[in-house]
Amino acid sequence: MSDGAEAVMRPDEASFRTVLGHFATGVTIITAMDGDVPCGLAANSFTSVSMDPPLVLFCVAKDSSTWPKIRAAGSFAVNILGDDQEDICRVFATRGADRFSRIGWRASGGSSSPLLHDALAYVDCSIETEYDAGDHVVVIGRVIELGVTAKGGPLLFYRGGYGRFEA
Ligand SMILES: Cc1cc2nc3c(=O)[nH]c(=O)nc-3n(C[C@H](O)[C@H](O)[C@H](O)COP(=O)(O)O)c2cc1C
């Protein structure tokens, strides 16, 4: 079935971004402790993997400056953003930004990773394993502790823009 709008493209960077951008996702901030200093980055590659044992994953670019810190910590928290936290996402996607200057946080009970104030929910993990995958690393986390921490709708990311969920 076709409505005539299809366009077959070779997988170059532009077509990859355009086509994969049609997959709507939520937005997370992956956080960890770099010694006494919190660190984190925005990521929409988060997904659940397994219930038994409880596993999740995210993919991180090999040139990420935060990934070596998360890896050294051996644990991370996934903070699922609400639809009023677009500005937080932008800060955590900007290199050189003082990412924790505009948001409060507390240490998780499991791994002591930063849990961001007003995030919808969190998943606290230890790093189970990692897989080399092209220009990214697939990071598998074993869930230690998790919770729903705020009411409200999720922040969504679709075709390079932000939106809200409406049933
Ligand atoms: C909505 C959104 C989702 C993103 N998802 C990812 C992701 O899943 N993995 C990743 O490595 N970078 C992702 N990024 C890009 C990083 O957040 C961005 O490159 C950041 O500056 C990386 O910081 P770092 O180099 O300090 O780690 C995303 C950015 C945005 C805005």
CATH for 133: 2.30.110.10
Residue 145 belongs to domain spanning: 26-149
Residue 53 lies in a domain: yes
Residue 103 lies in a domain: yes
For 76, phi then psi, to 5°, come to -160, 160
List the chain pLDDT tens, one digit each, 167 residues.
Answer: 456 567 888 899 999 999 999 999 999 999 999 999 999 999 999 999 999 999 999 999 999 999 999 999 999 999 999 999 999 999 999 999 999 998 999 999 999 999 999 999 999 999 999 999 999 999 999 999 999 999 999 999 999 999 999 98
Contact 137, 63 (CB under 8 A): no
- Number of domains the chain contains: 1
Distance from Cα 120 to the centre of ligand 1, integer Å:
19
Residue 112 lies in a domain: yes
Residue 93 lies in a domain: yes
Q: Which residues line ligand 1 (CB under 6 A)?
A: 27, 41-45, 58-61, 64-66, 89, 93-95, 157
Minimal CA–CA distance to 80: which of 37, 115, 51, 130? 115
Per-state percent for the chain, helix, strand, coil, to nearest 5: 15, 45, 45
